Amino acid sequence: MKDNDHILNLQETEQLCRLYMECQLSVLEERELQYILGKMDYSSPIIDEARQSMMAEGLLTPTNLLATSKKERKKPKFKWLRLTAGAAASLAIVISLSIFILKPDGDNAVKMADNHKVKESTSSSEIVIAYEGGKKLNQEDSEKAVTESIKKAEALMAMAQAQIKEEESKQEYFIHLISDKK
């Protein structure tokens, strides 16, 4: 057997494999061959046969094969591909999710209402737009018109609340009146 430091060439490895297949190697030599087949990516019919035989005997496992036959070489490649595909899918999900989250609310109608850019409004945090008589009002007039409009809405809501309370108190009055009579 060669020294540990000596790197066997293909022919020497084939010779060793041939001896292994003929059961002419000592236990120590088999171990060395096992080590060589695990480390080196030599490939020839006799080497592959010896490698498969060792694998069948459990002397050689796919985990201690770093780069051997084509089949074994694919495994880390697939793992890498799988990781890349997974990372790409996760990235795509994160991007689509961020677009979904960062889109300016569900407020499409505000955007649609203003065919021009919303930038024209007072500030980025507040949007005030008004159209009257088929024309868009300027910022100052828009703010006045919108303020008036909001006041009108609030007055109507207050009126509706007052109406509900009035109706409820009427109902209560009649209920008390009926129960008193009984």
Residues engaged in binding other proteins (CB under 8 A): 82, 86, 89-90, 93, 97, 100-101, 105-110, 112-115, 125-136, 142, 145-146, 149-150, 152-154, 156-157, 159-160, 163-164
Q: How far is the CB of 158 from other proteins (least distance, A)?
A: 11
Three-state DSSP state, 136? strand
Measured from the CB atom, the residue of 63 and 115 that comes closer to other proteins is: 115
Measured from the CB atom, the residue of 7 and 160 that comes closer to other proteins is: 160
Q: Which two tokens stand for residue 180?
A: 């008193």
Three-state DSSP state, 135? strand
Q: How far is the CB of 134 from other proteins (least distance, A)?
A: 4
Q: How far is the CB of 35 from other proteins (least distance, A)?
A: 34
Q: How far is the CB of 74 from other proteins (least distance, A)?
A: 17
CB of 17 closer than 8 Å to CB of 43? no
DSSP for 63-98, written as a single string: GG-SS-SHHHHHHHHHHHHHHHHHHHHHHHHHHHHH
Q: Which of 38, 44, 47 is nearest to 18 (CA)?
A: 47
Q: Which two tokens stand for residue 8?
A: 């066997």
Measured from the CB atom, the residue of 7 and 91 that comes closer to other proteins is: 91
Packing angle, helices 10-21 and 27-39, rounded to 10: 130
Q: How far is the CB of 114 from other proteins (least distance, A)?
A: 7
- Distance CA(51)–CA(172), nearest Å, equals 96
Measured from the CB atom, the residue of 34 and 142 that comes closer to other proteins is: 142
Measured from the CB atom, the residue of 44 and 90 that comes closer to other proteins is: 90
